[in-house]
């Protein structure tokens, strides 16, 4: 059971921590929101939000007025929720748990008997039961008797964060055989989906397996697209026909994957072991799709040297402004290493600069361009008019990595369309 009116301290106010703190505050709890970045704390106090997420600004503003307090130092609380980053260190080929360890040490210094600690960051299996437990128990608290130490991952999709935090099923795991009742009761206060319980290591493993499953299946679709190109076959038409089988459901190919989860989380499964993995192959396939896009572009133009290329879509997925791990970055870097004369960027959701290049409006980006590459499946791109492109572009090449345009219609307008 959960005590009446418990206080909650959320550590880390990023893409997951901030909406989590806001939902808890709007559910009637007294919430302390702590982030190590003082400028970020100042921005939040001034209600100056850097996240572009539907309804988040309004929702957080409401929480700040009643229930959520941004603090410069973490406070004692009955619940501590850790939502800090866990980047992957490619040089060391392992997960960087520095932020988790630092947050764990901070929380451990504030603990009192019967407090509850919930790790929500994506971590390698065993992090809660081993590393975090060791940190807590160094302060003299037993994770099997004195405090409740648990793990509960988020499974949200950018653009739907608030809704999915409320509606998605939740998994809760604990350490040391402790009952998960307190954590379940906390999430039950705002989660409408099912809440399932297990041990912390299994919960950590399941989160990684979910994203690895998606990565592997996307990689298969991308391999199909590359093979179809070799045979000069329509990849998406072939996939649609294959999916008529009752036990086949091939995903859509594309220029790779982006966001924080799929390009990174599967690698956490290889943390501390040397098991050969299909997952690693899938990572290479998906990361390599940008190279395939470059090949299609070069084959269409004859050569890249001296050309002007317009990239439509900087966000990693359609309908959002989230650019984390976007395939656009890799394509810009690859094209920049060639003798391409100019790379132009446009995106209806993203503003500012990317790789030192200013984003411009679509029409401006097309002026005298030799080729256009559609990288993101923004809904607006489903209504692109080939006549608008024909009026402005110097060339007639379109590489469509998301099957957003009607090939026949664009061919009738004089365009050479290459779809992934």
Contacts of 339 (CB under 8 A, 6+ apart): 304, 305, 306
Architecture of the domain spanning 7-208: 3-Layer(aba) Sandwich (3.40)
Residue 336 has pLDDT above 60, yes or no: yes
CB 63 within 8 A of CB 25: yes
Question: Residue 402's pLDDT is what?
Answer: 97
Q: Please tell me the distance from the alpha carbon of residue 300 to that of residue 272, in angstroms, as a whole number.
A: 44
User: How many of the other CB atoms lie within 10 Å of CB of 137?
Assistant: 17
Q: What is the mean pLDDT of residues 74-85?
A: 97
The two tokens of residue 325 are: 């791990």
Provide the pLDDT for residue 2: 63
Q: Which segments within 20-140 are labelled E, that is strand? A: 30-34, 68-71, 79-82, 88-89, 94-95, 116-119
Q: Is the pLDDT score of 114 beyond 60?
A: yes
Encode pLDDT of 223-252 as tens digits. Answer: 999 999 999 999 999 999 999 999 999 999
CA–CA separation, 81 and 76 (whole Å):
12
Q: How far apart are CA 102 and CA 95, in angstroms?
A: 15
- The pLDDT score that the predictor gives to residue 55 is 82
Asked if 107 and 186 touch (Cβ cutoff 8 Å), the reply is no
Catalytic, 261? Answer: yes
Which residues, at least 6 apart from 404, have a Cβ–Cβ distance to it below 8 Å? 374, 377, 381, 382, 384
CA distances from 306 to 149, 223, 364 (A): 59, 31, 19
**Which has more confidence, 288 or 49?**
288
Number of CB atoms found within 10 A of residue 191's CB: 19
Alpha helices by DSSP H, listed for 124-261, are 133-138, 161-167, 181-188, 200-230, 235-242
> What's the mean pLDDT in 398-404?
97
Residue 277's pLDDT is 76
pLDDT of residue 276: 62
How crowded is residue 159: how many other Cβ atoms within 10 Å of its Cβ?
Answer: 18
Percent of all residues in the chain with a pLDDT value above 70, rounded to a whole number? 98
Average pLDDT, the chain: 94
Residue carrying the six token digits 């919960």: 203
Q: Over the stretch 129-168, which tens digit does the pLDDT of each residue have?
A: 999 999 999 999 999 999 999 999 998 888 888 999 999 9
Q: What confidence tens digit (pLDDT) does each residue in 168-222 have?
A: 999 999 999 999 999 999 999 999 999 999 999 999 999 999 999 999 999 999 9
Angle formed by the axes of helices 235-242 and 200-230, nearest 10°:
120
Active site residue 207: yes
Picking from 16, 11, 75, the residue whose alpha carbon sits closest to that of residue 41 is 11
CA distances (Å), origin 146, targets 23, 64, 77, 139, 140: 28, 32, 15, 11, 9
Spatial distance between the Cα atoms of 213 and 156, rounded to a whole number of angstroms: 16
The whole-number average pLDDT for the span 342-352 is: 96
Confidence at residue 1, expressed as pLDDT on a 0 to 100 scale: 57
Residue 358 structure tokens: 């200013």
Q: What's residue 156's pLDDT?
A: 87
pLDDT tens-digit series, residues 244-283: 999 999 999 999 999 888 888 988 987 777 776 788 899 9
Report the range of poorest mean pLDDT among 7-11, 89-93, 344-348, 351-355. 89-93
pTM of the model: 0.89
Dig out the tokens for 322 from the structure.
Answer: 């989230």
Alpha-carbon distance of 164 to 169, in angstroms, equals 9
Catalytic residue among 9, 83, 261, 328: 261
Check whether 354 has a pLDDT greater than 70. Answer: yes
Euclidean distance between CA atoms 90 and 267, whole angstroms: 10
Among 298, 297, 292, which Cα is nearest to 230's? 292
The arithmetic mean of pLDDT across residues 308-337, rounded, is 95
d(CA 192, CA 170): 9
Structure letter (DSSP) for residue 8: E
| Distant-in-sequence, close-in-space partners of 26: CB < 8 Å, separation ≥ 6 | 59, 62, 63, 67
Tokens, residue 388: 């608008």
pLDDT value at position 56? 84
Task: Write down the pLDDT at residue 48.
Answer: 83
> For a pLDDT cut of 90, what percent of the chain falls above it?
84
Domain locations along the chain: 7-208, 288-419
The reply to whether 7-208 and 288-419 are identical in fold is yes
- Which of 83, 207, 325, 328 is the catalytic position? 207
Q: What is the SS3 assignment for 225? A: helix
What digits encode the pLDDT tens for the residues 27-78? 999 999 999 999 999 999 988 877 777 788 888 899 998 899 999 999 999 9
Q: Supply the pLDDT for residue 66.
A: 87
Q: Angle at the Cα of 127 (from 125 to 133), degrees rounded to 5?
A: 140
Domain 288-419: top CATH class: alpha beta
Q: What angle do CA 375, 340, 330 make, to 5 degrees?
A: 40
- Model pLDDT, residue 151: 98
């Amino acid at each position: 059971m959960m005590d009446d009116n418990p206080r909650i301290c959320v550590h880390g106010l990023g893409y997951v921590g901030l909406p989590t703190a806001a939902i808890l505050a709007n559910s009637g709890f007294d919430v302390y929101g702590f982030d190590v970045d003082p400028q970020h704390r100042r921005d939040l106090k001034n209600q100056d939000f850097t996240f572009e997420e539907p309804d988040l600004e309004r929702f957080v503003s409401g929480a700040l007025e009643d229930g959520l307090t941004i603090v410069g130092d973490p406070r004692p609380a009955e619940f501590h929720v850790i939502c800090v980053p866990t980047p992957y260190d490619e040089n060391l080929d392992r997960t960087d748990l520095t932020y988790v360890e630092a947050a764990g040490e901070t929380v451990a210094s504030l603990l009192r008997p019967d407090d509850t600690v919930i790790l929500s960051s994506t971590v390698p299996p065993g992090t809660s039961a081993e590393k975090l437990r060791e940190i807590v128990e160094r302060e003299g608290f037993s994770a099997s008797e004195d405090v409740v130490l648990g793990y509960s991952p988020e499974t949200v999709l950018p653009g739907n964060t608030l809704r999915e935090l409320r509606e998605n099923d939740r998994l809760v795991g604990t350490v040391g055989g402790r009952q998960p009742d307190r954590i379940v009761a906390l999430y039950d206060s705002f989660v409408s989906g099912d809440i399932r319980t297990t041990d912390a290591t299994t919960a950590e493993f399941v989160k990684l397996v979910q994203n690895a499953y998606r990565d592997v299946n996307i990689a298969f679709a991308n391999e199909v697209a590359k093979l179809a190109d070799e045979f000069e076959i329509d990849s998406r038409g072939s996939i649609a026909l294959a999916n008529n089988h009752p036990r086949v459901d091939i995903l859509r190919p594309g220029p790779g994957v982006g966001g924080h989860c799929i390009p990174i989380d599967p690698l956490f499964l290889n943390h501390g072991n040397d098991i050969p993995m299909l997952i690693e192959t899938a990572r290479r396939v998906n990361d390599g799709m940008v190279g395939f896009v470059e090949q299609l572009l070069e084959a269409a133009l004859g050569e890249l040297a001296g050309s002007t290329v317009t990239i439509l879509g900087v966000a990693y997925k359609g309908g959002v402004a989230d650019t984390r791990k976007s395939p656009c970055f890799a394509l810009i870097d690859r094209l920049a290493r060639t003798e391409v004369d100019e790379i132009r960027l446009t995106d209806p959701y993203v503003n500012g600069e990317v790789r030192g290049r200013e984003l411009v409006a679509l029409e401006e980006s097309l002026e005298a361009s030799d080729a256009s590459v559609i990288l993101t499946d923004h809904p607006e791109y489903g209504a692109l008019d080939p006549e608008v492109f024909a009026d402005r572009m110097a060339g007639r090449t379109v590489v469509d990595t998301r099957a957003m345009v009607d090939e026949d219609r664009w061919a009738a307008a004089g365009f050479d369309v290459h779809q992934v």
